């Protein structure tokens, strides 16, 4: 479900909180809701709940301003844990970019944790995804309860993959945002590896030294208890709307004696820098303007141009234009082009060039790239494709 708008450099990613019934998924989401500033999140929606049980899913949109130079919109979902809701779980899992597995640390829950993890693995496999290669972090939840299983045992049973682990107490909020940060980081890294998200700009803007997910999330987190109330009190909301968020904070709900430092975040934006891997080229101008699904087309066109294959460049551009125009809706290319207000003469010229690629010259290919950029720019102006 990830989508990316390269012009705005905005990424949308879907993260699913998975785990057995009553492990603390809904509580985790509520805690994130309470802790993140209202300006950075939408309303939490629980779709069809019966008492305390999630029957369909919970949903919370969260915005993280900058990860390197990309804004990130996270759509956080929980699944119903009860065994018989597998059809719903599959639906919610569709298009997920990452999973936080919320395990109940109590000894009596070990079997249901194991079953749920296996169920996750099977459901992902149906989508053609291997859990081993999927962004995943583990929440060992309910650590505040006495006589929970030692972490080593949970790890041995549930985390042979060595996914990042976090001891959490969703009711107090301990560790919850650390897990969220970790999965966000993994998801961005994964999307970068798939080249859905562009690599960071080589020279970060000097005016935003604290940019990065760490810094962003740390804004929402108290580093000292005295900052806590300020960070989470939603000024514009009435207690009737959000009674808990007016009074509850991540730190002051921690059990007495729980170290506040558990929730502290040190802004180390450099740790977020995902370096461009060897062999990855810098973005060319057409690629930089391309909507997510046309990223590879634009790259192919630019690669052909740089390597002197002008005919191939024109063919790739024509293909990109055809697909780009289709985003405007039904109809002929002429109609689609008209709707987007791309230059009709330019479109005709590109069509002409694509019919005689054998004699293509460098300026023909450059023109084709220029026209692709024109179309991408029009799409961006029109807000197409619409992101979920």
Ligand X SMILES: Nc1nc2c(ncn2[C@@H]2O[C@H](COP(=O)(O)OP(=O)(O)O)[C@@H](O)[C@H]2O)c(=O)[nH]1
Chain contacts with Mg ion (rule: CB under 5 A): 26, 54
Distance in Å, CB of 265 to ligand X, minimum? 20
Q: Which is nearer to ligand X, 2 or 141 (CB)?
A: 141
Which of Mg ion, ligand X, none is residue 52 near (CB under 5 to 8 Å by kind)?
ligand X
Q: Quick one: which segment of 164-172, 215-223, 289-297, 298-306 binds ligand X (CB under 6 A)?
A: 164-172
Q: Which is nearer to ligand X, 21 or 291 (CB)?
A: 21
Q: Output the 3-class SS for the chain.
A: CCEEECCCCEEEEEEEEECCCCCCHHHHHHHHHHHCCHHHECCCEEEEEECCEEEEEEEEEEEEEEECCEEEEEEEEECCCCHHHHHHHHHHHCCCCEEEEEEECCHHHHHHHHHHHHHHHHHHHHCCCCHHHCCEEEEEECCCCCCCCCHHHHHHHHCCCCCCEEECECCCCECHHHHHHHHHHHHHHHHHHCCCCCCCCCCCCCCCCCCCHHHHHHHHCCCCHHHHHHHHCCCCCCCCCCHHHHHCCCCCCCCCCCCHHHHCCCCCHHHHCCCCCCCCCCCCHHHHHCCHHHHHHHHHHHHHHHCCCHHHHHHHHHHHHHHHHHCCCCCCHHHHHHHHCCCHHHHHHHHHHHCCHHHCCHHHHHHHHHHHHHHHHHHHHHCCCCCC
Is residue 175 at the binding interface for ligand X, with CB under 6 A as the rule? Answer: no
Is residue 21 at the binding interface for ligand X, with CB under 6 A as the rule? Answer: yes
Is residue 135 at the binding interface for ligand X, with CB under 6 A as the rule? Answer: no
Residue nearest to Mg ion (CB): 54
Interface mask toward ligand X for 63-82; x: CB under 6 A: ---------------x--x-
Q: Which is nearer to ligand X, 247 or 309 (CB)?
A: 247
The residues in 81-100 that bind ligand X, with binding defined as CB under 6 A, are 81
Q: Quick one: which segment of 139-147, 278-286, 318-326, 343-351 binds ligand X (CB under 6 A)?
A: 139-147
Is residue 52 at the binding interface for ligand X, with CB under 6 A as the rule? Answer: yes
Q: Which is nearer to ligand X, 154 or 211 (CB)?
A: 154
Q: Which is nearer to ligand X, 18 or 376 (CB)?
A: 18
- Interface with ligand X (CB under 6 A), residue from 3, 6, 16, 25: 25
Distance in Å, CB of 40 to ligand X, minimum? 22
Return d(Cα 209, Cα 322) in angstroms, integer.
41
Q: Which is nearer to ligand X, 168 or 216 (CB)?
A: 168
Distance in Å, CB of 26 to ligand X, minimum? 3
Distance in Å, CB of 178 to Mg ion, minimum? 21
Which of ligand X, Mg ion, none is residue 141 near (CB under 5 to 8 Å by kind)?
ligand X
Distance in Å, CB of 106 to ligand X, minimum? 9
- C-alpha 329, offset from chain centre: 27
| Interacting residue ranges for ligand X, rule: CB under 6 A | 19, 21-27, 52, 54, 78, 81, 141-142, 144-145, 169-171
């Amino acid at each position: 479900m990830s989508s990316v708008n390269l012009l705005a450099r905005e990424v949308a990613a879907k993260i699913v909180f998975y785990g057995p019934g009553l492990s603390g998924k809904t509580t985790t989401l509520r805690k994130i809701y309470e802790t993140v500033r209202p300006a950075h999140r939408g309303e939490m929606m629980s779709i069809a709940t019966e008492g305390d049980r999630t029957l369909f899913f919970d949903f919370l949109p969260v915005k993280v301003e900058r990860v390197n130079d990309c804004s990130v919109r996270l759509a956080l979902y929980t699944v119903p844990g009860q065994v018989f809701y597998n059809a719903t779980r599959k639906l919610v899992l569709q298009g997920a970019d990452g999973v936080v597995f919320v395990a109940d640390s109590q000894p009596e829950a070990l079997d249901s944790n194991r079953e749920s993890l296996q169920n996750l693995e099977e459901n992902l496999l149906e989508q053609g995804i291997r859990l081993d290669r999927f962004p995943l972090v583990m929440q060992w939840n309910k650590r505040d309860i006495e006589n929970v299983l030692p972490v080593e045992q949970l790890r041995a049973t549930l985390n042979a993959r060595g996914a990042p682990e976090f001891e959490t107490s969703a009711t107090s909020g301990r560790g919850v945002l650390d897990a969220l940060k970790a999965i966000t980081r993994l998801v961005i890294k994964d999307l970068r590896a798939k080249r859905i998200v562009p690599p960071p700009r080589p020279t970060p803007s000097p005016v935003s030294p604290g940019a990065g997910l760490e810094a962003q999330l740390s804004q929402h987190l108290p580093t000292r208890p005295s900052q806590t109330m300020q960070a989470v009190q939603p000024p514009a909301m009435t207690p009737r709307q959000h009674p808990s968020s007016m009074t509850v904070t991540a730190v002051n709900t921690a059990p007495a004696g729980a170290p506040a430092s558990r929730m502290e975040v040190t802004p180390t934006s450099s740790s977020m820098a995902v370096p461009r891997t060897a062999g990855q080229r810098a973005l060319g101008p057409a690629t930089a303007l391309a909507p997510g699904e046309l990223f590879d087309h634009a790259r192919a066109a630019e690669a052909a141009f740089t390597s002197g294959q002008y005919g191939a460049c024109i063919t790739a551009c024509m293909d990109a234009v055809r697909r780009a125009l289709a985003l405007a809706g039904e109809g002929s290319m002429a109609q689609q082009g008209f709707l987007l207000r791309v230059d009709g003469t330019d479109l005709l010229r590109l069509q002409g060039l694509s019919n005689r690629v054998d004699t293509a010259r460098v300026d023909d290919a450059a023109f084709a790239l220029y026209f692709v950029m024109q179309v991408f720019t029009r799409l961006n102006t029109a807000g197409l494709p619409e992101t979920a």
